[in-house]
Structure 1
Amino acid sequence: MELAKIRSLSDDELLAQEKTSAEQLFRLRFQVSMGQSDGVKKLRELRKEIAQIKTIARERELGVRGAKHELVSTLPAGEAKKATKKAVAKKPSAKKKGAGE
């Protein structure tokens, strides 16, 4: 399944597709271990598909795709502004080590 198709699925469909792919992977692994099938390519494709489905589900859970990340401060409003100004004003000083150290 293509990534665009996976992204277009709803959450319920995504969960159902993950279960279906996992079941197919289980059956194929069983067949390979019994010597009935030589489906190494299909094994790789199924593992990749399951990983993509899980990744997209997690992105949706976290709101990663299309969501803006905002810096949230635990400081009170007035102190957060002061801390930001201090951080911008401070410049890291570079200390040079001498040859004798």
Structure 2
Amino acid sequence: MSGGDGGDDDDDNRDSSGLVVINQNPGEYPISINEEGIKINKDRMEQEKLYYCFYEDKAYLFFKDDFESLNCYEIEDPAVVAEVKADPAKMEQVLKRRAGM
């Protein structure tokens, strides 16, 4: 089980593809994982900013929309999860390719 690996690529935690990477300081990143599961602090999330984590061999994507609603997506296909875990910065590319876009 992984709590989402990664580091800061620039000051606002966005990598070159626009994805937010897991911050090394868990107190700052709104997504955390413990023995009870995934915890989301919606108040720390910026609108329209994508957050992710890996938990129990799945990838989870989260974002808060303009209406303050939390949107969550679960990716369970092992091949997709492995590909995204290998290079989270290419997550958007992987998902678009897998969706046929």
- The alignment's TM-score, normalised by the length of structure 1, stands at 0.21
Max Rg structure = 1
Q: Indicate the structure whose relative CO is greater, using CA pairs within 8 Å and at least 6 residues apart.
A: 1
When you count strand as a share of all residues, which structure comes out higher?
2
